[in-house]
Amino acid sequence: MNIKSLLIGSAAALAAVSGAHAADAIVAAEPEPLEYVRVCDAFGAGYFYIPGTETCLRIGGEVRATVAFGEDIGGLAPGGRSSDWNSQVRARVFFDTKTDSELGTIGTYIRLEGDYRPRDGNASSSLELEQAWVSIGGLTAGKVLTWWDDIGIYGELDAFEAATNFNTVSYLYDAGTFRIGVGINDLSGEYSDRAGSEFGLQGYAQVDFGSANAALRGVYDNEAEEGAIYATLVAPIGPGTLELGAGWSSGDNVYVDRFDSDFAATSYEWTVSGSYALKATEKLTIAPSLAYWSTQDNNDIWGVGVLAEYQLATGLKVGATVDYVSPDVGDDNTSGFLRLTRSF
* Amino acid letter, 43: F
Angle at 140 between CA 315 and CA 54, to 5 degrees: 70
Residue predicted with more confidence, 258 or 264: 258
- pLDDT, tens digit (0-9, with 9 covering 90-100), for 270-288: 999 999 999 999 999 999 9
Provide the percentage of residues in the chain whose pLDDT is more than 90. 72
Rounded Cα distance, 27 and 95, in Å: 43
Q: Does residue 194 have a pLDDT over 50?
A: yes
| Mean per-residue pLDDT, 322-332 | 93
Q: Phi/psi of residue 15, each to 5°?
A: -65, -40
Instruction: Round to whole Å and give the CA distance between 40 and 96.
Output: 13
Element (H, E) at 165: strand 165-174
CA dist 291 and 305 (Å) reads: 9
Q: Where are the domains of the chain?
A: 36-59+70-78+88-137
Compare 75 and 151 and report the one with higher pLDDT: 151
Q: Which long-range contacts (CB under 8 A, 24 or more apart) does 318-321 make?
A: 321/155, 321/156
Pick from 176, 190, 98: nearest CA to 137:
98
Q: What is the pLDDT of residue 260?
A: 82
Please check the confidence at residue 268 and state whether its pLDDT lies above 50. Answer: yes
User: Quick one: pLDDT band at residue 34, thresholds 50, 70, 90?
Assistant: low
What pLDDT is recorded for position 35?
61
Distance of CA 49 to the CA centre of its chain: 24
Lowest mean pLDDT among 99-113, 142-156, 190-204, 237-251: 190-204
pTM of the model: 0.83
